[in-house]
Amino acid sequence: MKSFAKNINLTSVDDLFTTEESRIDENREKVQEIPLSELYTFKDHPFRVIDNEAMYDTVESVKEYGVLVPAIARPRDEGGYELIAGHRRKRACELAELTTMPVIVRNLDDDAATIIMVDSNIQRESLLPSERAFAYKLKLNSMKRQAGRPSKENGSQVGNNLSGKKSSDILAEQMGESKNQIFRYIRLTELIPALLDMVDEKKIAFNPAVELSYLKSDEQTQLLDAMDSEQATPSLSQAQRLKKYSQEGKLSLDVMTAIMSEEKKGELDKVTLTGDKLRKYFPKSYTPQKMEETILKLLEGWYKKRQQQQER
């Protein structure tokens, strides 16, 4: 008679005395205190962590109350954990001289982790254009992969979505943007770093920047030279012409320089004072409106003083 003993799985003693409640508890997510040295930045993390005034406010909060919202991380094959959400909190803990922070550890694949990473940061105020651009690109690509790799004819169709919506439509709804605006932001990722930095610094406006993103990388590098030579940045109409010449294969450094040398309407009457330039002259508590009121009062006083001097 054939033996079936080898197919019998015996329940272990530990399992016999383990309650259903304890087994559920073992699978439940727990908050763990993990050393900061074991937490690594998420790959391709597009959001900048800056030691600015908002960061130091967070540091003071961490010193007083601790980290109120745990970070989210996933295990790394190399050891330690990859941060998914909580990069600013980690930096605040470092500045507060803490050695650990509360973290929820989850086993997530790359696409699920990317979507959580973007969603946990995208609603922050004062996001830079470059941060928003790379965040939209990362999330859209992850959404496409989660839906199943689509055909070239239907590049962003969600696999089994009954409403027939594309990933880009869903992303636009989630972000409160038009689909066209989502793609315009993603175009910024085609800019070379030096030009993208100028967009973040508001030296190049958003709409011209989108047009410049269609220039080849070497053309963008040459454009930097033309801009430096003429001490000017492209207007929308200039950027559109640069794009047109590029598409026609007629864009050269001479053409760029000629376009950038054009005098823009109203340019001579325009004065721009950025918050960064003005902030050092005012107390930290001053709002932009308060700064503007103070500047106007000082200018009024200066104007009256000049009038009095001219009347003497």
pLDDT tens for the chain, 312 residues: list them: 555 455 555 555 555 555 555 554 555 678 999 999 999 999 889 999 989 898 999 999 999 999 999 999 999 999 999 999 999 999 999 999 999 999 999 999 999 999 999 999 888 777 899 999 999 999 999 999 887 754 343 333 344 444 568 899 999 999 988 999 999 999 999 999 999 999 999 999 999 999 999 999 999 999 999 999 999 999 999 999 999 999 999 999 999 999 999 876 544 445 667 666 777 788 877 777 777 888 888 888 887 777 666 666
Distances (CA, A) of 134 to 115, 128, 148, 168, 211: 12, 10, 21, 14, 17
Reference 34, options 83, 108, 103, 84; nearest CA is 103
User: HSE on the CB side for 72, CA within 13 Å?
Assistant: 16
> Which helix (H) or strand (E) covers residue 114, if one does?
helix 110-119
How far is C-alpha 295 from the chain's CA centre? 33
Tokens found for residue 60? 């003071």
Give the pTM.
Answer: 0.69
Which residues, other chains included, contact 27 with Cβ-Cβ below 8 Å and sequence gap of 6+? Answer: none
Domains, the chain, in order of start with CATH, read 26-108 (3.90.1530.10), 110-149+165-190 (no CATH), 192-264 (no CATH)
